[in-house]
Amino acid sequence: MTDVLTFGEAMVSLRADGPIGTNGTLRPSVAGAEANVSIGLARLGHRARWVGLTGKDAFGDLVLRTLRAEGVDIGHARRVGHPTGIVVFEPRISELVRVDYHRRGSAGSRLAPEDLGDALAALPRVVHATGVTAALGPAPLEAVRFALRTASEAGVATCFDVNHRMKLWSRDQAADALRPLVRHVDVLVASDDELALAAPAGARTEADRVAALLAAGVREVVVKRGADGAEVFDSTGSTARPAVRVAVRDTVGAGDAFVAGYLSGLLDGEPVAGRLDRAVTTGAFAVASLGDWEGLPGREELDLLRIAPGNVLR
């Protein structure tokens, strides 16, 4: 049985080591919220399946080869006659990074419900979706609706990360699309400023939004607070954990790493506190490393951050 089924657009990322206009060198890798989560879970020893569309091009080759090499099941991925999307990361000044997407008409943006039917039929333990895929267009949004509804009706646990992207849609557009999904979500993940996009419009405070989401059937509301850690709300109350303190190298992908850690703990039967501990740990690995997923830990490495900086492992 697949532990976690996730789906969306995986792109090639091009990371510059300086301003592109002055000949900054670009290094290719792979990016995408759901792909990051699937890699994080696979490294922790879980059976992760990613479903999506890539182009019949060299960038599509790189995406699929990377996921396969990381142990992610790509048996339901499909190649189509549209280009693989690209995201470019360009350091500008200090810690400011400019992100530029080239995904209009891309293969991944054409994901539709029919691309998920066979993968969902196998009934994974968890289905994970994000607001990034929902924002890509009508067909991907319908795919998110179909996956969450189908999983919920089959008794499969569902996880949804709001993951709002301003370059894809406005807050009003996101709220209109995401609020109806809540009734099919067991675990809702959001940063503190994203809760309003999933909660009813009448809920004005965080406490009211959390209460409304739990009343709507969400089992756990997981609130990411960045450098202040995270907190989980459920029917028994709340549990909080501080962030693991590390030297920050790159914050891209930290939220996806957090989700991978939280779902890993859930799959292992950990209580909420244990899930949060693992989530803030995997998130710390992400921010302490360059790249979306490259620095994510294997299960045997989860305790590495307890070792004092400057030590050498021999």
C-alpha distances in Å from residue 3, one per residue of 124, 155, 259: 6, 14, 14
Structure pTM?
A: 0.95
Catalytic residue list contains 256:
yes
Per-residue pLDDT of 140-196, as tens digits, reads: 999 999 999 999 999 999 999 999 999 999 999 999 999 999 999 999 999 999 999
- Among residues of the chain, what percentage have pLDDT more than 90? 88
Cβ neighbourhood burial of 21 (10 Å; 0-12, 13-18, 19+): exposed
Average pLDDT over residues 91-116: 90
Which structural domains are found in the chain, ordered by start?
33-82+110-295 (3.40.1190.20)
90-99, 189-198, 241-250, 284-293, range with the lowest pLDDT: 90-99
Q: Is the pLDDT of residue 121 over 90?
A: yes
3-class DSSP assignment, residue 230 = strand
Residue 19: what pLDDT? 87
C-alpha distances in Å from residue 189, one per residue of 23, 276, 299: 39, 12, 22
Can you read off the two tokens belonging to residue 239? 């549990």
For residue 30, the surrounding DSSP H or E stretch is: strand 26-31
Q: Is the pLDDT of residue 58 over 70?
A: yes
Residue 302: what pLDDT? 95
Per-residue pLDDT of 275-309, as tens digits, reads: 999 999 999 999 999 899 999 999 999 999 887 66
Is the Cα dihedral 212, 236, 40, 28 positive or negative?
Answer: positive
Residue 65: what pLDDT? 98
Side-chain-facing half-sphere of 37: CA atoms under 13 Å: 31
Residue 172: what pLDDT? 97
Catalytic residue among 73, 115, 250, 256: 256
